[in-house]
Amino acid sequence: MSVTSRYRDAWEGFWNEAAEGQGAVFWDAEPTLTAGRHLAYFEPHLTDPGLPLIDLGCGNGTQTRYLAERFPHVVGADLSTAALTHARHADPAGVAAYRQLDAADKAEAEILHAELGDANVYVRGVLHQCEPDDRQPLADALATLLGERGRAFLVEPSPAAKTVLMGLARGPAGPPAKLAPVLRHGLTPGAVPDEAVPEYLRAAGLTVLASGDLPLTTTEYTPDGTRIELPSTWVVAGRRA
């Protein structure tokens, strides 16, 4: 199964319009506030830190490059060719590798697994953006990428995040500048219940090893200068040894 053309076209349109440079889009916060925080919860559960690391839904590669400074082989994977163009432009030294991947297509995941072997996978805010029918296939593909030794870290906005975003969109001045294109391209977060995320993973044959709550930092601010953070949950999953 693969994603719908509407979903693919929405992401291509968004990234084709997006400006170059770190921080230009709503969720592209500094790695020290995002992947850096997440690694503190992820690394203790890695059975083999030397495995390839896949940044699934890498976008313009900000987090990918950060991860590539800490792991020996990092691959940024994204559905959007335009996003990968941004990522490659921002990484002229090639500290990471990049490739197009439909993460809801298990066959594509099997091809990547055949190339890399078992991998650790970092997933930030991808599942909630999927069409409902693509969420379980994405979890199944994730399990394929992990194999027997890999571990996955997923962080996803909670349903409460949608309330925050819709409140911002309906403000007197309209949505903040970096949120407006997200809404215009129909990339609003889906209402995925917190408890549904581990259920998708379990249905894919994975075990939830740890979980918790952590704000998801954005690049936007409220009119009073407060950084906008979205309520989110994180999960570490893999196969039991």
pTM for this predicted structure: 0.94
Distance separating alpha carbons of residues 189 and 191, to the nearest angstrom = 7
Mean pLDDT of 18-46: 94
Nearest partner of 157 among 234, 226, 84, judged by Cα: 234
Whether residue 1 is predicted with pLDDT greater than 60 in this model: the reply is no
- pLDDT number for residue 4: 66
Distance separating alpha carbons of residues 205 and 222, to the nearest angstrom = 41
- pLDDT number for residue 96: 98
Whether residue 180 is predicted with pLDDT greater than 50 in this model: the reply is yes
- pLDDT number for residue 62: 97
Mean pLDDT of 35-57: 97
Summarize pLDDT for 81-129 with one digit per residue, the tens.
Answer: 999 999 999 999 999 999 999 999 999 999 999 999 999 999 998 988 8
Nearest partner of 131 among 161, 160, 103, judged by Cα: 103
pLDDT band at 3 (very low <50, low <70, confident <90, very high): low
Choose between 231 and 131: higher pLDDT: 231
Dig out the tokens for 109 from the structure: 């995941």
Q: Please provide the average confidence, as pLDDT, over all residues in the chain.
A: 91
- What sign does the CA torsion over 45, 68, 135, 41 have? positive
Whether residue 60 is predicted with pLDDT greater than 50 in this model: the reply is yes
Distance separating alpha carbons of residues 6 and 50, to the nearest angstrom = 37
